[in-house]
């Protein structure tokens, strides 16, 4: 069946979505444990540890715990050591997330035409995508693209890149089934960040926010799809812009001991100010496709990348939203932390689950969803998705997080083994808690 050629319609759909979190769940005290083991008390360390207790994050997903050998050497791990763990522990997460997305999309490896991947926590060549493709058994004629240098905006940037590739195949009358993949392993850099806090007496809060995750979607141009084949979201359009003179406010600096998070106090303010103009441009490009009932920001559901509490609360005040509009973003932030580029697909996955539907503003699920993320530059990515309302609402299955591995080190202090994804929000009491804790008063700077 040919893709839609109606005016203004791209014919692009997300047909499969998969998320894989690692087996450990770090409480706020995990950082305290490592800080006390390796560094004396100091004003900067006390401030960072205090901020860590008030980020609004209950748990951060991680490939290990405070007793992991990598973070318990005399010195912080080197780039080479970080890469080895990224490959040994991260790549399997990416493979599993990809398999989930492919299974839901009902595509086999031979049908995947392209692969667009991103990460900011590794930089080897060939990239990690090569090894994921090899493990999945994808074709050696697969067209691959690996994006780097875009951090937390990487998931939506990869989706935007995949959309352009899809449209290129549509113009040629060829089917496109693109695996869009994001993988981040951030928690292994905790020792390096603690070292900088101690040596430079800087307030560095990245270690209190970032976590590990892999997520994937299958983007299809519809050509060759069987009639009636289900999809999750239709991709209607996107906008991208760079905030001038902000490259020193958000980023990841290269260091012999890994990468160091750059996160200035200006980020929430700059991000907040960029939302309205980007949204206006996006709506203008889609004016002939959206119903009259979808015009104001509050008319939509929002899949906002949870870069931090002030990013979410800033979006609320800038766009006239409530926590319910960004319920899936808050859920991922509170229960898993900020997994950089991999988080946005996890938010979209969570948004379609039944308990999220029950928390929709006014009890009404929105058909249209705005996706948004901010990355180094500062780069702003925003897209418009149409949720397939006839697609079955996903019930939490526990597949997002595997059981604890049989690691000989066992679950150390400050961590708990990752349970199934039902940990996210269970019972009315916690639902009300997560909605009421909009975190407006949390200041991370």
DSSP string, 250-263: EEEEEETTEEEEEE
Q: Which residues contact 23 (CB under 8 A, 6 or more apart)?
A: 63, 401, 402, 403, 404, 405, 417, 418
Q: Where are the beta strands (DSSP E) in 67-154?
A: 114-118, 143-147
Are 354 and 394 in contact, with CB atoms under 8 Å apart?
Answer: yes
Alpha helices in 325-373 (DSSP H): 327-336, 343-351, 354-357
Are 48 and 197 in contact, with CB atoms under 8 Å apart?
Answer: yes
CA pair distance 91, 199, nearest whole angstrom: 33
Q: Which residues contact 436 (CB under 8 A, 6 or more apart)?
A: 323
Query: Angle CA(257)–CA(261)–CA(264) in degrees, nearest 5?
Result: 145
291-300: string of b/e by CB count within 10 Å (b at 16+)?
Answer: eeebeebbbb
Query: Angle CA(49)–CA(50)–CA(51) in degrees, nearest 5?
Result: 90
Show which residues are catalytic.
Answer: 152
Helices (H) and strands (E) in the chain, counts: 14, 14
């Amino acid at each position: 069946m040919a893709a839609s050629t109606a005016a203004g319609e791209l014919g692009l759909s997300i047909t499969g979505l998969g998320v894989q979190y690692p087996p450990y769940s770090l409480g706020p005290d995990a950082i305290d444990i490592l800080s006390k083991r390796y560094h004396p008390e100091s004003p900067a360390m006390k401030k960072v540890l205090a901020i860590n207790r008030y980020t609004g994050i209950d748990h951060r997903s991680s490939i290990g715990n405070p007793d992991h050998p990598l973070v318990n050497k005399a010195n912080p791990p080197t780039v080479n050591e970080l890469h080895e763990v990224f490959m040994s522990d991260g790549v399997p997460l990416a493979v599993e997330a990809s398999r989930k997305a492919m299974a839901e999309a009902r595509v086999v490896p031979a049908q995947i035409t392209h692969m667009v991947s991103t990460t900011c926590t590794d930089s080897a060549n060939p990239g990690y995508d090569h090894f994921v493709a090899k493990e999945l058994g994808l074709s050696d004629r697969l067209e691959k693209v690996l994006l780097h240098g875009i951090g937390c905006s990487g998931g939506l940037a990869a989706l935007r890149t995949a959309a352009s590739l899809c449209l290129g195949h549509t113009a040629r009358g060829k089917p496109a089934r693109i695996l869009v993949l994001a993988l981040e392993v951030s928690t292994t850099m905790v020792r390096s960040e603690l070292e900088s806090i101690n040596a430079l007496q800087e307030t560095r809060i990245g270690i209190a926010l970032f976590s590990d995750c892999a997520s994937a979607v299958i983007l299809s141009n519809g050509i060759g799809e069987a009639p009636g084949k289900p999809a999750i979201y239709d991709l209607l359009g996107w906008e991208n812009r760079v905030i001038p003179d902000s490259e020193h406010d958000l980023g990841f600096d290269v260091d012999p001991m890994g990468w160091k998070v750059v996160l200035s106090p200006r980020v929430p303010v700059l991000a907040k100010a960029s939302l309205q103009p980007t949204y206006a441009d996006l709506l203008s490009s889609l004016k002939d496709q959206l119903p009259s009932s979808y015009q104001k920001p509050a008319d939509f559901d929002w899949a906002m990348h949870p870069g931090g509490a002030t990013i979410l609360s800033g979006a609320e005040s800038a766009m006239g939203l409530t926590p319910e509009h960004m319920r899936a973003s808050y859920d991922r932030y509170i229960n898993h932390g900020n997994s950089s580029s991999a988080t946005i697909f996890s938010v979209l996955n969570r948004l379609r689950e039944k308990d999220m539907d029950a928390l929709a503003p006014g009890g009404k699920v929105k058909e249209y969803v705005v996706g948004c993320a901010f990355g180094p530059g500062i780069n702003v990515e925003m897209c418009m998705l149409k949720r397939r309302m006839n697609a079955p609402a996903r019930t939490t299955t526990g597949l997002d997080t595997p059981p604890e591995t049989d690691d000989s080190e066992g679950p150390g202090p400050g961590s708990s083994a990752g349970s199934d994804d039902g940990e996210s929000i269970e019972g009315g009491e916690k639902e009300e808690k997560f909605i009421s804790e909009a975190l407006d008063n949390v200041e991370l700077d």
